[in-house]
Structure 1
Amino acid sequence: MEPLRAGFGALLGLGLVGQFILSPTVDLTDGLYLVAPLGATSVLLFAVPNSPLAQPWSAIVGNTVAALVAVSVCMVVSDPVARIALSVGLAVFATIGCRAVHPPAGAVAMTAAMSPDAMERLGFWFALAPIATGTIALVLVAIAYARITGRRYPFRQFDDPHSKESGDTDPAERLGLSEQDLTDILERYRQSFNLGVKDLARLIGAAEVQVATQQAGPLTAADIMSRNLTTVRLTTPLGDVADLFKRHRFTSLPVIDSDARFLGVIFQIHLIGRARDDALRLDRGFAPALRRLVDRARGRPVLAGDIMSATGPRAVATTPLSVLLAMMGDRDVDAVPVLDCGKLIGIVTRTDLIAAMARRIARTPSG
């Protein structure tokens, strides 16, 4: 799926840029046109969006600075070999100096240096259009596409706020290592251009979870999941859903059809969120909005299918504990349904995970 995601993203990005922003021609007589380096930029933006080389500053500033350097060289150097070599070399120097290393910038410089006549006509306008204009457009498409497909772009910085808007870092990144410690590791292994500090923290955290899981034993979803489930249907009124939450102290309820096929899940936060939206929309208090939401006597009662989530992670019986931990650690997920050919056979909650880990720890002989 990842090659399909990246390939379709590049297709969409260049398609939109070429169709609505730029005139898709390689003739360097126009002011707006697609050039080959934008294709290389698309590879980074859509295939490796977490790379430091693909971030908006690197892409936009790198390509633009390289174009400015190459146009300047074209104005003073006539020998083609010297012009090309000097343009690319100075572009590399300038982009590193601007902390905007972006490999396609070298191709931008070379494209300009190989077209001295066009550069003489266009001058520094070449850096603005198509280079800066096209790169900015691709970056905007990449940002939107990453959000739609569940990726992070631009990548998060080490001091970005916690997903819950608290002062803490995300759980997977609480390593006991400072930002400087992680930066030193990247510098020591010469990986600072390939990996961000935030991503290194997440990788180390994931490795620690994997080690802990292996030490706890080869547990799978089938070993720890809850099997005797309380479920609801698409047509179950929210009043009944609220009663089940209250009676059983559940935090989630799976939604299935008559053949036990999994359709989605309702979390308590879905009820709270819907009531809050209604309170704001109807200009009334939260409590009256919640009572109205679960009222079975209203003209058209709200049903489970109206608020359930049909997306989110899913597992099978053989899914390892390490994968389940990652699913719940990296996302706002309290429960993961376990499916067999689309049918619901169990559910793994955070309580199940904690209980399983506690049992393993209790059985492990102390050193």
Structure 2
Amino acid sequence: MPMRKMSNQEVFASIVGAFFATLCASFFSNSILEADNMPMVLASTGASAMLIFGIPHSPVSQPWPLVGGHLISALIGISAYYLIPSPVLASSVAIGVAMLAMHYTGSMHPPGGATAVTAVIGGSTVHELGYYFVIVPVFFNSIILLSIAMAIGTFRETNPFVVNGSNSESWLKQSMSNEVK
């Protein structure tokens, strides 16, 4: 399926949005994490920014997959860290279980896989946060990205986050209907 072509105005809005969203998430994460652990967390945040700003109409770029995919993956990654002593095995299990969970909840968001792995191998600061890692920084970074994406969406010819006359279903219903049957 070909990607929807964006106008120059939409491309510019996407670039500005991705810049500000990543900058805000970086400042937020920097206030919580040690500098050594920040790149691990921001890798999945940056990948999410590429999706939600670069291909905003994709099913994996919608609000539920963005937030749900990261939260589910973080929970699974933290659990794998606590339950499986080998980081290599724990990371692999976290990816597989996160993919399964995202599939069945209609929240498939590929950067969520990086979030699951970050929870396992993210270092002492991430591990000290424990399950709090799901909320801070994962949930808050997702909300930062989503808020800026929704604001930037108003500068698009077709806002992927707003219900309009040609699209009567909510984004959540659309996300859930994209599941493989």
- Counterpart of 2:129? 122
Deviation at 1:8, TM superposition (A): 2.3
Structure 2 matches for 1:210-359, cutoff 5 A? none
TM-score, length basis structure 2: 0.77
CA RMSD in angstroms, aligned pairs only: 2.9
Residue among 2, 16, 37 paired with 1:8: 16
Structure ranking higher in strand proportion: 1
Write the distance in 2 (CA, Å) between the matches of 1:115 and 1:17.
17
**Larger Rg belongs to:** 1
Which letter does structure 2 place at the counterpart of 1:67?
A
Which letter does structure 1 place at the counterpart of 2:88?
V
Write the distance in 1 (CA, Å) between the matches of 2:32 and 2:130.
19
- Counterpart of 1:231? none
Write the distance in 2 (CA, Å) between the matches of 1:119 and 1:145.
31
Structure 2 matches for 1:12-23, cutoff 5 A? 12-19=20-27, 21-23=28-30
Structure ranking higher in helix proportion: 2
Deviation at 1:85, TM superposition (A): 0.4
Write the distance in 2 (CA, Å) between the matches of 1:111 and 1:120.
10
Write the distance in 2 (CA, Å) between the matches of 1:44 and 1:84.
23
Unaligned runs of 5+ in 2: 1-7, 170-176
1:203-235 C-alpha deviation (Å, 9 max, x unpaired):
xxxxxxxxxxxxxxxxxxxxxxxxxxxxxxxxx
Which letter does structure 2 place at the counterpart of 1:16?
C
Alpha carbons 2:49, 2:145 under 8 Å: kept: yes
- Counterpart of 1:107? 114
Alpha carbons 1:13, 1:138 under 8 Å: kept: yes
Write the distance in 2 (CA, Å) between the matches of 1:34 and 1:115.
8
1:146-179 C-alpha deviation (Å, 9 max, x unpaired):
1034441316487618xxxxxxxxxxxxxxxxxx
Write the distance in 1 (CA, Å) between the matches of 2:128 and 2:77.
14
Question: 1:98 and 2:105 equivalent?
Answer: yes
1:110-129 C-alpha deviation (Å, 9 max, x unpaired):
11121364443111011101
Question: 1:36 and 2:70 equivalent?
Answer: no
Which letter does structure 2 place at the counterpart of 1:105?
G
